[in-house]
């Protein structure tokens, strides 16, 4: 069995809530995790001090952590950097790797960078990257549970303020299904939602897509305005158990809530 904490949209800088990030550190003192999957938006404005805070936070978690950038991790107002070195600050002050891979005997987690410099909000996966991702899954999966982590939405999310999905969402969905992915982890929308690939028109069916709400920002959206959520995953050879955790102000901690049980596609 593997246990994974999925967090996203921590947003060090403006709107970050330090008691929530401290609560995540405490959560990992209370529970044993094999991995933290962090699906983007480390910062609010991609400033060096925000990335430094993010690095200290990752180190405080004390657990192997895999991170992909979000759109907020690309400079917005530093136009020269945005055009010519969009990941320069991320690489200098946080992590050189934009698409990390975690792998052990039971688990394969592939990070995909959906952020880019010519948009403020939206994401994309280029067709060439989607084809390479499919091969990556086919070659690396074996008997492992295969999880793909990206920041932007591959399927529309009810309650979010826009029905738009990332560029080449359909091609990406097809690549993930054909490659044998068991689960997609996402962020960006600041609300938690468990959907399926077929919710994107034309996409093949059967691939679960899990969005986490913002773990530490005050910018929850839709039904999660003013709330903070993340997910705890327990993965065995047959399925994936998901527990939605929500910040409880009175307890000053993340506490358990709704649960789902997914059958692994390989087991099915």
What's the half-sphere exposure (Cβ side, CA atoms, 13 Å) at 45? 9
The predicted structure's pLDDT at residue 268: 46
Single pTM value for the model: 0.96
pLDDT over threshold 50, residue 94: yes
The chain-wide mean pLDDT, for the chain, equals 95
216 secondary structure, DSSP code: S
- Of the chain, the percentage scoring pLDDT greater than 70 comes to 99
CA distances from 41 to 30, 80, 158, 215, 222 (A): 25, 20, 21, 11, 19
Interhelix angle 169-179/127-140, rounded to 10 degrees, is 10
The pLDDT tens digits for 222-256 are: 999 999 999 999 999 989 999 999 999 999 999 99
The predicted structure's pLDDT at residue 244: 98
pLDDT over threshold 90, residue 127: yes
CA distance 263 to 241: 9
Q: How confident is the model at residue 121 (pLDDT cuts 50, 70, 90)?
A: confident
The predicted structure's pLDDT at residue 199: 97
**Contact (Cβ atoms closer than 8 angstroms) between residue 114 and residue 98:** no
């Amino acid at each position: 069995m593997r246990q994974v904490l999925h967090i996203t949209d921590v947003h060090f800088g403006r709107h970050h809530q330090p008691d929530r990030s401290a609560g995540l550190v405490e959560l990992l003192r209370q529970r044993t995790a094999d991995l933290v999957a962090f699906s983007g938006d480390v910062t609010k404005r991609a400033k060096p001090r925000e990335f430094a805070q993010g690095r200290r936070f990752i180190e405080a978690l004390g657990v192997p952590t895999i991170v992909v950038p979000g759109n907020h991790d690309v400079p917005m107002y530093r136009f020269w950097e945005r055009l010519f070195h969009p990941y320069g600050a991320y690489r200098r002050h946080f992590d050189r790797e934009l698409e990390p891979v975690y792998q052990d005997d039971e688990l394969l987690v592939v990070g995909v960078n959906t952020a880019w410099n010519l948009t403020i909000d939206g994401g994309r996966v280029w067709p060439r990257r989607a084809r390479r991702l499919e091969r990556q899954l086919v070659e690396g999966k074996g008997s492992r549970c295969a999880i793909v982590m990206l920041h932007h939405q591959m399927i529309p999310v009810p309650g979010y303020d826009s029905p738009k999905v990332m560029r080449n969402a359909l091609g990406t969905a097809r690549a993930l299904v054909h490659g044998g992915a068991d689960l997609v982890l996402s962020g960006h929308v600041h609300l938690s939602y468990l959907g399926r690939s077929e919710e994107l028109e034309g996409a093949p069916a059967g691939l679960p897509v899990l969005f986490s709400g913002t773990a530490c920002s005050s910018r929850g959206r839709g039904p999660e305005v003013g709330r903070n959520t993340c997910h705890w995953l327990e993965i065995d050879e047959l399925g994936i158990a998901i527990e939605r955790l929500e910040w409880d102000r009175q307890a000053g901690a993340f506490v358990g809530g709704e649960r789902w049980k997914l059958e692994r596609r390989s087991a099915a």
